[in-house]
């Protein structure tokens, strides 16, 4: 799930960087961006990520799933710096360390807690 999110967003970045910047409200530029193969592949991976997120949320608590899925932010940043040659400030690196620490703390808890019965 983490890898699908990171790679999907990175592919969107690659595809959209090949298109002119979109500042107008005209849909013409956005439609052209959707024709880019990198954008299409990125959207496909993000759809798979969302399905996996739904599945994970169906058996684990939100308080477990979201901290663990936040690891995708770390992976996205690493892809941005090392693969896409983007730069990051020291404060961004500190933020990534905080995300890693939070995910490590949340990861030490049990992913499944007692279910409450939902009445219809």
Distance CA 56, CA 43 (A): 20
Whether the pLDDT of residue 67 is over 70: the answer is yes
- For residue 23, the model assigns a pLDDT of 67
Whether the pLDDT of residue 88 is over 90: the answer is yes
Inter-residue contact 28 to 45 (CB < 8 Å): no
| Burial profile 88-101: b = 16 or more Cβ within 10 angstroms, e = fewer | eeeeeeeebeebee
User: Domain boundaries in the chain?
Assistant: 2-107
10-14, 58-62, 67-71, 112-116: range with lowest mean pLDDT: 112-116
- Of the chain, the percentage scoring pLDDT greater than 90 comes to 54
């Amino acid at each position: 799930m983490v890898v699908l999110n990171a790679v999907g967003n990175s592919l969107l970045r690659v595809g959209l960087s090949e298109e002119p910047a979109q500042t107008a409200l005209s849909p013409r530029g956005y439609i052209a961006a959707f024709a880019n193969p990198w954008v299409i592949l990125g959207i496909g991976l993000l759809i798979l990520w969302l399905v996996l997120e739904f599945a994970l949320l169906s058996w684990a608590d939100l308080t477990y799933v979201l901290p663990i899925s936040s690891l995708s932010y770390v992976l996205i940043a690493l892809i941005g710096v090392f693969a896409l040659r983007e730069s990051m400030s020291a404060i961004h690196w500190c933020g990534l360390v905080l995300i890693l620490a939070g995910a490590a703390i949340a990861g030490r808890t049990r992913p499944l807690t007692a279910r409450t019965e939902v009445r219809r």
